[in-house]
C-alpha cells in the first residue's frame, strides 16, 4: 500500500494494489474509488483533501500483531522530531 499527497492539486491518493485500474466510481463528491477488471478496489483518491481531513501531510497507521493483542502505532509528522513530542 502506498499513500501520497500532492499539495499542488490537494489530492490524497491511497494505492492499495499496483493492478491496473479498469473502472473508477465517484459515489460521493470528491471521493473516487478505482477498481481492477475483477471489481476489486485498487485505489482511493480524495479531492480537496485539506478541507476533508485534519492534516493530509500527517499519517498514522496501526499494525495488529499476529500472536498478541498488542497494537503497534506509528506516526509520521513531517517537520517534527520524536524528541519534540
Mean pLDDT within 64-71: 58
66 to 60, 69, 70, 75: CA distances (angstroms): 20, 8, 9, 21
Model pLDDT, residue 84: 44
Q: How far apart are the C-alpha atoms of 2 and 52, rounded to whole Å?
A: 19
What is the per-residue pLDDT across 21-50, written as a single tens digit (0 to 9) for each? 999 999 899 999 999 999 999 999 999 999
3 confidence band (pLDDT: 50, 70, 90) = very high
What is this structure's pTM?
0.73
For residue 21, count other CB atoms closer than 10 A to its CB.
14
Amino acid at each position: 500500500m502506498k499513500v501520497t499527497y500532492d499539495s499542488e492539486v490537494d489530492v490524497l491518493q491511497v494505492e492499495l494494489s499496483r493492478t491496473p485500474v479498469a473502472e473508477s466510481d465517484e459515489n460521493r463528491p470528491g471521493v473516487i474509488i478505482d477498481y481492477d477488471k475483477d471489481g476489486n478496489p485498487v485505489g482511493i483518491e480524495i479531492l480537496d483533501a485539506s478541507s476533508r481531513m485534519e492534516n493530509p501531510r500527517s499519517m498514522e497507521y496501526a499494525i495488529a500483531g499476529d500472536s498478541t493483542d498488542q497494537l503497534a502505532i506509528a506516526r509520521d509528522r513531517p517537520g517534527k522530531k520524536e524528541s519534540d513530542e
